[in-house]
Structure 1
Amino acid sequence: MRIKKVTILGLAILFMGISVILLMFRSLHDEGIDVVAVNDITQSLAEHWGSLDPAELPGQQYKLDYVVLDKHGDFTLATRRGLNERIDSAIQHRDTIVDIVQNDGTVLGKLIIYNNAREQWENYRDKVLIFFGAIVIFITLFCAVYAIYIDRSIYRPFRKLQAFSRHVAEGKLDMPLEMEKRNGFGAFTESFDLMREELAKARENERLANQSKKELVASLSHDIKTPVASIKAVSEVMMLKSANEADKRQLEVINSKADQINTLITNMFNATLEELQELNVTVTEESSITLGDLVRNVDYNNRAAVSPIPECIVLVDMQRLMQVVDNVISNSYKYAGTSISVSPSIQGQYLEFEFRDYGQGVSPEEVPLLCNKFYRAKNAVGKSGTGLGLYISKYLMSKMSGSMECRNVDGGFAVVLRLLIA
Structure 2
Amino acid sequence: MADSIQQQLQQLVLLSDSVGTGGAAAGTGGVSTVEESMEQLGPLIHSVYRANKQKLFRQQVELFAQRKDAEIMKLCGNYHQEFVQSVAQLLKVRQNTSELQEKVVGLNAELQMSGKSLYEKKAELLGMRREHRNIQRAVDAVKNCQEVVRMVASFDDEVETKQYYMAIKTLGGLKDVYLPQIRKYSFGKVLESSIPRMETKLQGAALRDMKDWLYGLKKTTRDIGRHLDTRMKNKQDMWAERDATIKERHFVSSAVQFVLDEEFDHDEPITVDMMPLYQCLHINEKLGRRAEFRRSFTEDRSDQLSLILASPVHFATGQLASFESMLFDIIGFFVVEHNILASAPDFRSKSDVDTLWDTCIAKLSDIIARGIQAIRSDPEVSTVLQEVMATFTYVMEENGYDVRKLRELIMAIFGA
| Structure with a larger share of its residues in strand | 1
* Bigger-Rg structure (1/2): 2
TM-score class, shorter: 0.3 to 0.5
Normalised by the size of structure 2, how large is the TM-score?
A: 0.32
Q: Greater relative contact order (Cα 8 A, min sep 6): structure 1 or 2? A: 2
